[in-house]
Amino acid sequence: MRRHPVFNENKLKLGTFCTNGRGTTHSLAPEANGLTWPLAVEVAREVDRAGYEAIVPFARWKGYVRGKPGHVSGDVLDPFTWAAAIAQATRQAGIFVTSHAPTIHPIVAAKQTATIDIISNGRLAINVVGGWNRPELEMFGAPLREHDQRYDYLAEWLHILKRLWNSADEFDHHGAFFDVAGGFSNPKPVQRPHPPIMNAGHSDRGMHFACEHADLCFIGLRGADPESIRGEIEKYKGAARDRFGRDVQVWAHTYVVQRDTQQEAEDYVRYYAVDCQDHESIDGLIGLSVPEVQNMPREAWEAMRNRYAAGYGGFPLVGTAEQIFRTLGMLSDAGLDGVLLTWIDFVDGAKRFNRDVLPLLEQAGLRKPFAGAS
C-alpha cells in the first residue's frame, strides 16, 4: 500500500485549499483571509492535528485585474517553498505543491519535490497544471500553447519527472518539447513508486489526461442533485477504468459556511459573496477564463458568478453542522473520495468544522477517529 495519507482507509478524505494566498473568496468583507505566514501555519496545524489528508496550495503568477497588477488576486506565495515550510510545521497531513509545468523544468521539479518529500518524510504530492491564465504565462516569454497541446506538453513533462524520480542511471530523452542529455536527479523521493499526482483537467482532453496520469482527479462539481453528481464523478472513474485500466480518486473543492441555523448561514454567504463581492476580481477572472477554458461559455461563468465570489466555484457546504455533515455524506455516497475545504476565515472555519462536523463524520464511519501522528 502506498504510504501517502491520501491512500489511507478513510472513505471521505479531507483537505484545505489555497492557504498560500487569500483563500478562494473574492470578497471585500473585512474578515476575509489575509495573506500572512502565521495564519497559514495556524490553519495547517489545526487540520494536521485533526488528521486531514491534504493541504493544497494553488499556483498564481499574476492576479486577474487588468491594469492593476497589484490587485490582491495576485498575492499568492510560491507553492514549493511554501510547502517545504508547511511540511516542517506539520507532522501527518499530506503536503501538496501545485506546479505550472510550462514555468519549471522537470529537472528542477524533480529536485524540489524530492527535497520536500524528504523534509516531510514521504508526505509530498504534486498537483500538475498546464496553465490557462494567459498574461501570467506570457510573462515567461512563451505564449500559452493551443489547448490540447498544453496536455501533450504536460504528459511529456510528467514522463521526464517520473524518470528522474526513479532512474538509477542517466538517460537521454528526445521528445516533442524537451531534449534532455544524460538526465539524472538525486536524491530520490522517499515515496515509491512516486509521490501522488493530482490534476484538475476539465475539458475532454484534460479529463483524459487526468484519468491516464493522475492518482487524484480534482474537479469542480456542477450538479446539485445526487444523481448528476454521481454522473460527474463516474465520468472520471469510468474513463480511467475503461480506457486506461486504472483506479483514480476523485476530489472536489468546496466552500464552507457553518452557522447555528440554515438561515444564518445563507445570510452570511449573501453578505460576503454578494453584498461585499469584489466585482473587479470576478470580472477579471471571468474575462480571462472565457477564451481559455473549454466547455464553459460566458453565460455559464456569469451564472456561477456568486459561487465564484463565495469560493472559486466550489461546491457549497452551507448550513448547520448537521446539514454540512449530511451533504458530505451525500457526496461520499455519490462516489467522491475527498473534499478540499475553504472558508472566508480559515482559522475560525476550520475550528468550527473540526469541533462540530468532524465527530459526525467519524460516528458515521466516513472517517476513523484520528489517533494522532506517531
List residues binding ligand FMN (CB under 6 A). Answer: 58-59, 98, 100, 129-133, 200-203, 206, 218, 220, 253, 293-294
Closer residue to ligand FMN, CB minimum distance, 92 or 342: 342
Nearest to 26 by CA among 200, 209, 275, 235: 275
Between 94 and 130, whose beta carbon lies closer to ligand FMN? 130
Q: What's the closest the beta carbon of residue 109 comes to ligand FMN, in angstroms?
A: 15
Q: Are 345 and 311 in contact (CB under 8 A)?
A: no
- Alpha carbon dihedral 16, 19, 21, 25, in 10-degree steps, equals 50
Nearer to ligand FMN, 12 or 180 (CB): 12
Which residue number, 16 or 185, has a Cβ lying nearer to ligand FMN? 16
For residue 180, the tally of other CB atoms under 10 A from its CB is: 18
Strands (E), the chain: 13-17, 54-56, 94-100, 124-129, 171-174, 179-183, 197-199, 216-219, 249-258, 315-319, 338-341
In the complex, the smallest distance separating the C-beta of residue 340 from ligand FMN, rounded to whole angstroms, is 7
Tabulate helix, strand, coil % of the chain (nearest 5).
45, 15, 40
Give the alpha-carbon dihedral of 274, 277, 280, 285, to 10 degrees.
-80
d(CA 210, CA 198): 8
Q: What's the closest the beta carbon of residue 373 comes to ligand FMN, in angstroms?
A: 27
Nearer to ligand FMN, 185 or 281 (CB): 281
Shortest distance in whole angstroms from residue 240 CB to ligand FMN? 15
β-bridge mates for residue 98, sequence order: 127
**Beta carbon of residue 306, minimum distance to ligand FMN (angstroms, whole number):** 18
Q: Give the shortest CB-252-to-ligand FMN separation in angstroms.
A: 7
Return the sign of the alpha-carbon dihedral for residues 128, 131, 136, 140: positive
Give the nearer residue to ligand FMN in terms of CB position, either 132 or 301: 132
Nearer Cβ to ligand FMN (96/272)? 96
Residues near 44 by Cβ (< 8 Å), separated by ≥ 6?
16, 19, 55, 86, 89, 90, 93
Closest to ligand FMN by CB, 185 vs 199, is 199
Q: How far is the CB of 98 from ligand FMN (least distance, A)?
A: 5
Residue number with the smallest Cβ distance to ligand FMN: 206
| Nearest approach, Cβ of residue 57 and ligand FMN (Å) | 8
Nearer to ligand FMN, 62 or 123 (CB): 62
C-beta of 97 vs 164, nearer to ligand FMN: 97
DSSP states of 242-253: HHH----EEEEE
Query: What's the closest the beta carbon of residue 156 comes to ligand FMN, in angstroms?
Result: 16
All cell numbers assigned to 32: 476575509
| C-beta of residue 248 within 8 angstroms of C-beta of residue 309 | no
Look up residue 256 and give its DSSP letter: E
Find the shortest distance in angstroms from Cβ 45 to ligand FMN.
23
Q: SS3 of 78, please?
A: coil
216: nearest Cα among 95, 128, 341: 128
* Residue carrying C-alpha cell 510550462: 102
Rounded (5°) CA angle 324-328-329 = 115
